[in-house]
Every structure is written in C-alpha cells, then in structure tokens.
C-alpha cells in the first residue's frame, strides 16, 4: 500500500524517498540542503506551505535539537494536513453524488 504522505512529499521535494526508512532519508536531504543549498530548501518549504512563523518559532525554542529533524517534522505535519483536507473533500463529493457533476 502506498503512503500518500510520502508520495506527496516526494513529489514536492523532487528527490526519491524509498519506502524503507524514507523519513531518515528526508532528514538527511534536509540537512544537506541546510548546509549546501538553503535557497532550494526555502523553495520546498514555500511550495509545501509550511508556515514560516511556526518554523522560526520552533527553531528558536529548540536550539539544541537538530534543525533538519524539526523541519522534517513540520513538513510531515503539513503533508498530513493536506492529505486530511483531500480526504475530507473527497468524502464531501461522494456525499453529494445525487447532484449533477460537470
């Protein structure tokens, strides 16, 4: 069974996240981008619509934690929110099946 959150993140970040240990790979890639291509990381976070204020606050409140792990956690949280919205929207559409569709 496909993991819709992994698939969503994989499409957004533009690199392969194999099914086994994909969260570790995500953290490693974020760490790489932090050190080598910060602009690309910011672009990915923007495309995922990760709240900048929340990210800044989380990083400031947890200066001793790995920034890549914190960023990955926010990315996963946002992807889960998007997936839930997609599922909720799909349920609404199936509930209204009696209405004419275009």
Task: Note the pLDDT tens digit of each residue in 43-75.
Answer: 999 999 999 999 999 999 999 999 999 999 999
Q: Which residues contact 39 (CB under 8 A, 6 or more apart)?
A: none
Cα–Cα distance measured from residue 15 to residue 83, given in angstroms and rounded to the nearest whole number: 20
pLDDT tens for each residue of 9-39: 888 887 788 878 888 989 999 999 999 999 9
- Answering whether pTM is above 0.85, one says no
Residue 2 pLDDT:
66
Q: Where are the domains of the chain?
A: 4-95
């Amino acid at each position: 069974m496909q993991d819709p959150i992994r698939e969503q993140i994989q499409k957004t970040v533009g690199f392969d996240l194999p099914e086994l240990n994909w969260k570790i790979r995500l953290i490693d890639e974020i760490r790489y981008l932090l050190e080598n291509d910060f602009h690309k990381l910011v672009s990915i976070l923007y495309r995922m619509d990760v709240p900048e204020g929340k990210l800044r606050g989380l990083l400031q409140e947890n200066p001793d934690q790995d920034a890549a792990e914190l960023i990955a956690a926010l990315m996963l949280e946002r992807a889960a929110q998007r997936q839930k919205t997609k599922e909720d929207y799909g349920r609404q559409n199936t509930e209204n099946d009696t209405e004419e569709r275009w």
